[in-house]
Amino acid sequence: MPPQTTPSRKQTIRQVTAELDGPTALDDLIDRVAQLHPSRAKNPRQSIRNDLRWDHPGRDFVFLDAKTILPVRLALKGVRFRIRLDRQEVQRGVLFVQPAFDYFLSRPVEQATFVDDHDQPLPARIAKFSVEVEDFLIGRHTLELVAIDLGDWFRAHRIRAKDEVLVTILDWEAARFHLEHEPAHRRRKNLIAQQNRALADLFYDLMEETHDERIPIHVAVPTAYARLPTARDYPGDHWMLVIEEDERVRSTGFEIMPADQMLPFERMMLIDATETAVREQPFTREQGRQVYRFKASSRYRKRERIIEIQGKHTLGDFDNMMRDAFNLDFMDHLSEFTRIISRGKSKRPREIPYGSLNPFGGTAAAKVRVAGLEPGAQLLYVYDFGDWIEHRLTLERIDPPERGVTYPRSMPMAKQKRRQS
């Protein structure tokens, strides 16, 4: 007889989660796991809490709020979503597994079951197609697509281009789905728009709840649907389309992040870009004349200056002033301004880079005007991406221009204090 092994804490958590029949207080779950899996750790409850927050969300359960969890099998039971069919799917009578069923499948698609309006299994088989695609990183290559062949069902319903398939998750663990055909002319646009807005707001809120504005998609999707009160009503568009059409967020394929932020490799590619990710705020002629007074601090030389620049001036002008004020080379090295937006205590500030600045010009960021910032605005100025020389800037106030003064200008902090007195 083989020796019995003690279940790991992860296995214990999954065992306890599988026994839950509804929303459960996080502390109650911790108590149950601690009883079944005793630990000699200095703070065993905190260890369990850390595991629950980092290893299991989206896979075993979701957080309905900070103190309440719900198993994924219950969170997704009865949830409805729609699949917008493309031309190839209609012609071939198939549903491509990706992206339609991404994060809705708990097991391989070969083990999934699809039923009709009478709860009868649909004749379906798995088909694979090879297509040529172009990728800006790796060039042209062959991609294998996995699809669910539902040719008989497509023909019986006379499914045409622009029609859609409505999917209901009957059993997430067993991968059992109900399929319903919706002709294009029956699409209820107003209800879909309402559902899309509600789901988009949930994705945005989930992203904002995180420390660094990054939430894994495998966590975000089931959590958003669990928190959506109308998730079992007439469905909105697929979650991926909802994210694509929301100007606040974007998907990297693995996580959801702010739409106005770039990944490191994207920032590198923008060195010679002709566009900037930050839109210039419209301003009046009078606003363009106003003087923006920044306190600038160098972390490299422990030096502080006052920079005064008018709203009509550009980041290129600001860059020149920073180089002059802090004795930085005008003929070498790239630089960049980044907007820093506080998100509250314990959360990482949002960083919105304006794009790189070349001392010889030619970048879009150099043409963005300063106007539009509010007092208290925080900026990070980095000179030389190799040495990464940081400067912190705070917009202290906005004043009318002084007669006889030429802007932009810089002053030592001491001189600024004497002038104010």
| Helix ranges, 239-392 (H) | 239-245, 264-269, 285-289, 315-325
> What is the spatial order of strands in the sheet that 125-135 belongs to?
94-96, 139-149, 125-135
Q: In CATH, what is the architecture of 80-186?
A: Beta Barrel (2.40)
What are 259's strand-pairing partners?
A: none
In tens, the pLDDT along 302-324 reads: 789 999 999 999 999 999 999 99
In tens, the pLDDT along 353-401 reads: 888 888 887 788 888 999 988 899 999 999 998 889 999 999 999 999 9
pTM: 0.77
333 touches 384 (CB < 8 A): yes
Q: 24-39: string of b/e by CB count within 10 Å (b at 16+)?
A: bebeebbebbbeebee
The set of residues, in sequence order, having a beta carbon less than 8 Å from that of 325 and lying 6+ positions away, is: 296, 305, 307, 410
**In CATH, 285-420 is 3.40.47.10:** no
Query: What's residue 269's pLDDT?
Result: 56
Tell me which DSSP letter residue 262 carries: -
> What's the length of the chain?
421
In tens, the pLDDT along 201-259 reads: 999 999 999 988 899 999 999 999 999 999 999 999 999 999 999 999 999 889 999 98
d(CA 285, CA 311): 9
Which of the two residues, 197 and 5, has the higher pLDDT score? 197
Query: What's residue 3's pLDDT?
Result: 53
